[in-house]
Amino acid sequence: MPAENGNGENGGAEARGEGSVATSADRLVDLYREMVTIRRFEEACQRGFRQGKIGGYLHVYTGQEAVAVGFLDSFKEGDRVITAYRDHPHALLLGSDPKNVMAELYGRGSGIVKGKGGSMHLFDVERGMMGGYGIVGGHIPIGVGIAYALKYHETENICQLFLGDGAMSQGAFHEAANLAGLWGKDGQCPCLFIVENNQYGMGTSVERTTAMTDLAAKFDAYGIEHEKVDGMDIEAVLEAAERLTEQVRETGKPYAVEALTYRTAPHGAADFFEKYRSKEEIEEWRQRDPIGILENKLLDSDAADEEKLEEIKGEAKELIDEAVKFADESEQPPIEELYTDVYSGEDEYTGEA
């Protein structure tokens, strides 16, 4: 069942990118603010990591902001979102306080998951954030189950399931996509798969992981319609997000979007050398930086002037500085927390040695 959109004769390399949605100037400015805030947040994380304040693995979203910002703009109350470990923007965009998110990264008791998960495991279930996950592909079946449950409980909600290009080589992806397609036949799986194709899984490019590099088209195998979108162009993403979230909501059938994007930061904060790609390549993509593109648009269309943009950047910096300060000043989790949350209910903990 080939999808109609964005999958031309030439193998579907062209993405939809017309940005046809009528976006008001104010709204674009708001989105600009979100993107800038996320970028500042990620930069602060990298700084914290270099200072030794943040431990473990740290994966930032730099360069990909338009994807999460654009799709989560169509988030409706009661919807759910699930993603892998590159999860800071998803939590922030759903309304989690940057202070608690940063505190989590700093390993503090005031962290969003009490200092128990770190960067890779942000949850804010009340706001619909069903987690960040560290096993590549592992969250995909879970997201499909969440979508199924939303229908089982007869809600009008959907699950936005973000996944990486690399994750699409996992069995878990293929099994989950098969289930989604199957359950979608009866309108029982309102799941929007959003492939954040940032061209690489760690240091391995898509071309080096599969002979079938049209990732969206892989969903054909499971009866799931799909398209591509230019993930660097916020207006294009917004258009796709609005249309597709509504479609999934109405039909109860899954749908897949491959957002073509690029991670300009290293894969993990501890990666100093990048043997797998050239400086030139990174530079080329930087020319298409989603924040840069939007900045130009705002200036060209007089939606905002330099002064306004500077003001927004200043405010974002202030917000993130505060978050860092809060994290830095917060206490580590109380040691008793070691043994809580292992079990739910009466046997909070049954295996203490």
Partner 1 sequence: MAETKTYREALREAMVQEMERDENVILMGEDIGVYGGTHLITDGLIDDWGPKRVMDTPISENGFTGAAVGMAMMGMRPIVEMMTWNFSFLAADQIIQHAAKLRYFSGGQVQIPLVIRGPNGGGVQLSAQHTHSLENFYGHFPGLKVVAPVTPNDVKGMMITAVRDPNPVIFLEAGALYGTKGEVEDGDNAVPFGKARIACEGDDVTLIAYGRQVNLCLRVADTLEEEDGVSAEVIDLRSIRPFDEDAIVASVEKTHRAVAVQEQWRWFGVASEVAAIIQDRAFDYLDAPVERVSGAEVPAPYARNLELAAFPSDKQVANAARRVLYMEEK
Examine residue 200 and tell whether it contacts ligand TPP (CB under 6 A).
yes
Out of 1, 25, 135, 212, name the contact with partner 1 by CB under 8 A.
135
Taking CB under 6 A as the rule, does residue 135 contact ligand TPP? yes
Instruction: Tell whether residue 52 is a contact of partner 1 (CB under 8 A).
Output: no
351 interacts with partner 1 by CB under 8 A: yes
Q: Is residue 290 close enough to count as binding ligand TPP by CB under 6 A? A: no
Strands 200-201 and 191-197: unpaired
The contact mask relative to partner 1 for 154-193 (x = CB under 8 A, - = no) is: -----------------xx-xxx-xx--x-----------
Q: How many residues bind Mg ion (CB under 5 A)?
A: 5
Q: Is 226 helix (H, G, I), strand (E, B) or coil?
A: strand
Is 63 in contact with 261 (CB distance < 8 Å)?
Answer: yes
Q: Does 128 bind Mg ion (CB under 5 A)?
A: no
Cβ atoms within 10 Å, residue 351: 8
In our burial notation (b when 16+ CB lie closer than 10 A, e otherwise), range 324-338 reads: bebbeebeebeeeee
Q: Which stretch binds ligand TPP (CB under 6 A): 40-48, 133-141, 216-224, 332-340?
A: 133-141
H-run or E-run covering 197: strand 191-197
Among 201, 252, 266, 290, binds ligand TPP (CB under 6 A): 201
Sign of the Cα pseudo-torsion (262, 181, 147, 79, in order): positive
Q: Is 128 in the site for partner 1 (CB under 8 A)?
A: no
Surface-to-core class of residue 345, CB atoms within 10 Å of its CB (0-12 exposed, 13-18 middle, 19+ buried): exposed
- Under the rule (CB under 5 A), what is the footprint of Mg ion? 164-166, 198, 201
- Under the rule (CB under 6 A), what is the footprint of ligand TPP? 86, 134-136, 164-167, 196, 198, 200-202, 267
